[in-house]
């Protein structure tokens, strides 16, 4: 006769003697003992605090990138607008009587190029805010525009000819337009 599970869990002297002789009961006792040990161990709980720290950290990184994009954009915009204001400040100095019509035409053309640059600058801002333009693309553009903007400031300060100013504004506009991502509008065809 074999021992019951209850007898195997609460061994007395008689049960111990039987256990030494019976191999089947000994196997069952070992199985019950290992089950009892496994149940006595606490289950391993996931580290929720570490998960929340990871989530918080990734959110903070994302916020930092967004704020860095805005700061870089506003620095870039400030430089462009400073060049435009320098242009506007120097513009009244071109009122010579002998060549007033030519200067007026040049002033209109120059003002037109400044306005076109402002428009593409706004498009750039929209694409940057909508995340169409990557930070790498924006930084590359900024590096390409910095020498042009510095040349624009120098041209205005040294009162260089309007043709040089227009040429720089054209280069500036072309660089910005080349970096803008062309968003294709859906074409509607009739059936």
Q: Which of the pair, 75 or 42, is modelled with greater confidence?
A: 75
Mean pLDDT of 12-40: 84
User: pTM for the whole thing?
Assistant: 0.45
On the 0-12 / 13-18 / 19+ scale of CB atoms within 10 A, 133 is buried
pLDDT at 140 over 60: yes
Cα–Cα distance for residue pair 35/91, rounded to 1 Å: 91
Cα–Cα distance for residue pair 120/132, rounded to 1 Å: 15
* Residue 121 neighbours by CB distance under 10 Å: 19
Q: Are 68 and 91 in contact (CB under 8 A)?
A: no
**Among 78, 182, 66, residue whose Cα is nearest residue 135:** 66
pLDDT digits (tens, 9 = 90+) for 36-64: 888 777 767 667 777 778 788 888 888 88
If you compute the radius of gyration of the chain from its CA atoms, what whole number of angstroms results?
39
The rounded percent of the chain whose pLDDT value lies above 70 is 85
pLDDT digits (tens, 9 = 90+) for 155-182: 988 988 888 988 998 999 998 888 887 6
Cα distances (Å, whole numbers) of residue 157 to 23, 29, 121, 137? 104, 97, 23, 30
């Amino acid at each position: 006769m074999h021992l019951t599970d209850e007898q195997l869990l609460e061994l007395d002297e008689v049960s111990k003697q039987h256990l030494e002789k019976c191999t089947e009961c000994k196997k069952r006792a070992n199985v019950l003992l290992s089950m009892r040990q496994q149940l006595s161990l606490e289950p391993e709980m996931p580290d929720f605090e570490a998960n929340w720290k990871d989530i918080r950290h990734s959110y903070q990184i994302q916020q930092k990138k967004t704020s860095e994009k805005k700061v870089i954009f506003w620095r870039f915009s400030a430089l462009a607008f400073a060049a435009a204001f320098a242009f506007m400040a120097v513009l009244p100095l071109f009122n010579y009587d002998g060549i007033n019509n030519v200067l007026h035409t040049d002033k209109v053309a120059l003002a037109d190029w400044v306005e076109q640059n402002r428009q593409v600058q706004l498009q750039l801002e929209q694409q940057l805010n909508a995340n169409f333009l990557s930070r790498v693309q924006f930084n590359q553009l900024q590096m390409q525009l910095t020498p042009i903007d510095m040349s624009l400031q120098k041209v205005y300060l040294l009162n260089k000819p309007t043709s040089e100013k227009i040429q720089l504004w054209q280069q500036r506009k072309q660089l910005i337009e080349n970096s803008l991502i062309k968003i294709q509008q859906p074409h509607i065809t009739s059936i």
